[in-house]
Amino acid sequence: MPPKLRSDHIQQRANHVFALVMNLPALTLILLLIGYPVIVSLWTSLHRYNLRRPDTFDFVGLMNYVTILTNHDFWHSIGVSFYFTAVSVPLTILIALGIALLFNQEFTGRGVFRALLLIPWAVPGVVNGLMWMGLLGKHGAFDTIISNNIELFNKLLGTNIDYIGMASPVVALNAAVAAHIWKNVPFACIIFLAALQGIPSEQYRAARIDGASTWKRFLHLTLPWLLHPIMIVAILTTMNSFRVFDLIFALTGGGPGDATYVIAWQTYKEAFGRLNFGGANAYSYLITIITMTLAIVYIRLLYRRGSVQG
């Protein structure tokens, strides 16, 4: 090897080592803070470990997973979580997209409206739950309006509903979905707004000159540019929706009955209701596997179609 090349090679290796050394403290910290709990959690999930018998730590292999997968409560909570996710993700995207398209137009006070949009996002999950409870619970605004008009409601729709409030399983679950959407729309909206502002205006001008209608401009120009952000929003909101906990904790407490028993709530009850940490860790891993699978599916389905921007 010529001396010049050898010297470059040595320099390159030294650079790599230097970079590694510089990153070592951060890597060690990440391994300690993330890697260690993840491994301990996996290890615990393979043991029978209930805090009411803290000295018993028996290796049971996959027994905790088998127990969960053969339990009706688990499949019920999976069903509730999937419903929650299936309703909240598309609605979040649609509403956020609509608002983003609106806020992308020039109008007076646009800045103020954009700032106001952020408020729901800034509200903590538990506060969000309590606020919606105030709205939808007994003597709340919705409850008062609906309870006073339930006969009219039944007459108009031809239904025979006894009550429409948080004590109704259907209402409680969908109220939780609504509260979740309300909180997550701003985040999605910001991502869409950023993406919309990145679309070159020349392309719109060209489309107008070619006589494309508003709908066609949206379908063939705006939407392809937004597919990538939509994918990101879809992945993040799916994960958030599937793991929703704080809202359920504050708004419904899992009830009425088991109508809002999402998977994270089930995990919480296993961990802190029953103190069954072996089982609760297994639950956590199952949630992780499901959300990871969903994310991979999204990426596979949407990545190529959303790669307009390269």
Partner 1 sequence: MVVDRRQFLRHSALATMGLTSGLLGCRQSDPERVTPLVFKGWPYEPDLVKENIEFFTDQIGIDVDYEMVSGNYHDKMVALFLAQSRMDCCYVRDDDFAEWVEAGWLRPFDDLPKAESYQNDLYDYNMESMSYQGHSYGLPYYTDFTVWIYNSEMLAQAGFSQSARTLDELTEQAVKIKERSIRSPDGQRIEYPILLGFRQSPGMGFGDWWALNYGSEVQLFDDELNPIFPDDTDRQAERILQWIVDGIHKYRIIDINSLTLGRIRENTAAGRQVYCLLSKYDVEWINNRKNSAVVDTYLADRNLDQSHAKVLKMAPIPSLETGQQGTLGWTRMYCLTAHCNPDKVLDAWQLLQFLGGKDRNGEYYTAKQWFRLRGLGFAYRSLMEDPEIIAQMERWGDVGLIKTMSKVARIRENIKSPWFPDFNVYYQPEIQKILLRQQSPRDGLGRIAKRCQQFKLEWQSMG
In whole angstroms, the minimum distance from the beta carbon of 228 to partner 1 comes to: 40
In whole angstroms, the minimum distance from the beta carbon of 247 to partner 1 comes to: 15
| 243 contact partners, CB below 8 Å, separation of at least 6 | 263, 264, 287, 291
Structure tokens at 97: 């997209």
- Choice between 4 and 52, CB closer to partner 1: 52
Structure tokens at 247: 């809202």
Dihedral, 266, 268, 270, 276 alpha carbons, nearest 10: 160
Q: How far is residue 137's CA from residue 163's CA, in Å, rounded to a whole number?
A: 12
Q: How far is residue 57's CA from residue 142's CA, in Å, rounded to a whole number?
A: 50
**Which residue from 167, 170, 169, 176 is spatially nearest to 88, judged by alpha carbons?**
176
- Choice between 41 and 50, CB closer to partner 1: 50
In whole angstroms, the minimum distance from the beta carbon of 266 to partner 1 comes to: 10
Half-sphere exposure of 30 (CA within 13 A, CB side): 5
In whole angstroms, the minimum distance from the beta carbon of 204 to partner 1 comes to: 50
- Choice between 68 and 89, CB closer to partner 1: 68
- For residue 61, the SS3 value is coil
- Choice between 232 and 275, CB closer to partner 1: 275
**Which residue from 77, 100, 89 is spatially nearest to 236, judged by alpha carbons?**
89
Residue keyed to tokens 């609906």? 146
In whole angstroms, the minimum distance from the beta carbon of 22 to partner 1 comes to: 20
Cis peptide before 54 (omega within 30 of 0): no
Give φ, ψ of 58 to 5 degrees.
Answer: -95, 135
- Choice between 168 and 288, CB closer to partner 1: 168
- Choice between 79 and 253, CB closer to partner 1: 253
In whole angstroms, the minimum distance from the beta carbon of 273 to partner 1 comes to: 4
- Choice between 83 and 218, CB closer to partner 1: 83
In contact, 93 and 234? CB cutoff 8 Å: yes
In whole angstroms, the minimum distance from the beta carbon of 141 to partner 1 comes to: 15
Residues that bind partner 1 (CB under 8 A): 48, 50-56, 137-139, 147, 162-163, 165-169, 172, 252-258, 261, 268-269, 272-275
